[in-house]
Structure 1
Amino acid sequence: MPLFTKQSDLKNHLEPMIAAHKTIGFVPTMGALHQGHLSLLQQSLKNNSVTVISIFVNPTQFNNADDLKKYPRTLEADLEKVNALHPEIIVYAPSVEDIYENKTESQSFDYDGLEFQMEGKHRPGHFDGVGTIVKKLFEIVRPTNAYFGEKDFQQLQIIKKMVSKLQLPVTIIGCPIHREESGLAMSSRNERLTTLEREKAAVIYKILLESKKLFATQSAKQVTQWVTKQFEKEPLFELEYFEIADEETLLECKRKNQKKHYRGFIAVFVNNIRLIDNISLK
């Protein structure tokens, strides 16, 4: 399995493949790989001649220094999983210095307002950090296609917007949310949950499923109030937000429009561990 820690070495390795017009699939991750990440790699392997994965915990997208410090780092186990999936997947696992070259700061981006909704309201500057690292990685890897999970649906829409506005030569492909048997959305942060917390966190998806049923006959406001009440009954959880929004604009649904597609978005704290999820309300 080819492993690179320096962008100069990775670029040199990829250069002949790019010159030969081979298609390059790219999966950017922050490591602590789970089946959701592996499913993105499988999609890339099916559709491209070459597949690259990056494993890098990006400091500029964390608002909370403690969250950055505690974010799971499991490089050795990650490499074993990648190698078991396919030994020819190229891994880029750089240092902060290699990526940021002693300037660990975010570039500013204008995502036409997508950045001010939901996650943007609660994590100021987060999407500048996301845009900065994804743009840098695209410049290093020069992928044909890049794969992102729909668990971070707002992030997916923001990256599509960035690619469109900057006219970057890459196709962004969103892939379905992978869930644990309980329904809990797979996330690297799940590794920080106790067995009991992980078991109880299945309630998040159950409430989302019920909210989808309710949205067929009730207003967005009524559904939001119902979700809030459900979490008031769950002492283990602190609901940060539940919002029903237009999938394209991410603007909150005030009044249903049959021509629009809506999605329910949620962020919940379990013992200071922040979990997000979403569901299509079609």
Structure 2
Amino acid sequence: MNILSALTAHVGADGTPVTLADRADATVVRVAGTVAKAHAPGTDPGHLARRLETAARLPGILLPPLAPAPARLHDRLVTRWPYGTPVDPDDPGAAPWEATATLLARLHGTAPPPLPPMRGPAKAARAVARLRAALRTGSHDAARPVLAAWGTLPAWARDEAPMPGPPALCHGDLHLGQLVRHPGPDGPWRLIDVDDLGLGVPAWDLARPAAWYACGLLPPGAWTRFLAAYRAARGPAVPADGDPWPALEVPARALTVQTAALAITKALAAHRPLDEAERALVDACARMTAVPYTT
């Protein structure tokens, strides 16, 4: 029995199973109102247990798990969660930017629990490593500006040094796919996916929408609402007023490089050209090397 079949059996609920994800780093299955996730091979059981404990203690911010500790299945750690209604990817105008910002501000304002570092910089470094591995068997003209931009970032953003500043509780991989309404379909929004949850620079959680805005991929109005909602909820990642960019610039640059690196890696594997949005990310990386970041 493979991990997908075993995970479906592990859910223990009646209904037709639906595979939500089946990747090397995660397999996720839904049966009725229960979701089971097999985490990446090699996931630290102690770290995952502490992340589950944190989610259980913050049910108004994070979706709480159905069990207090992970189970082991086929040498993988497995967690179970209630199903929530995700953001509709076909209705970008309804994206819950204000709710997302408010949840982040509340998360960042929580007293830091005993967790490992959030894994945002580690994921960025892994994306660049994947690109370099792909370039050993192929080539792409967009890789040069992306790798050059990576080299301009400070060591902490490349996961080569500890993160600066007083640590805050961070999600570590914030995007709209990390939100669900629970109970669905009209319950309050909650953050999901605790794999990268930890202590670090809170601006990292704002970096993806900031990067999209800087690259022209997020409308100015959506960015303005997101930032205003975060400030209204007294989020600590940016100043209460004035220019937020000095706090956001390094994380936003790192997320731009990460996303561009993954895009090129996938394009090489599929033998396809970059699409318009992917090319915008690469163009932003090219601009980074000419304009030093704010310190």
Q: Which structure shows the bigger proportion of residues in strand conformation?
A: 1
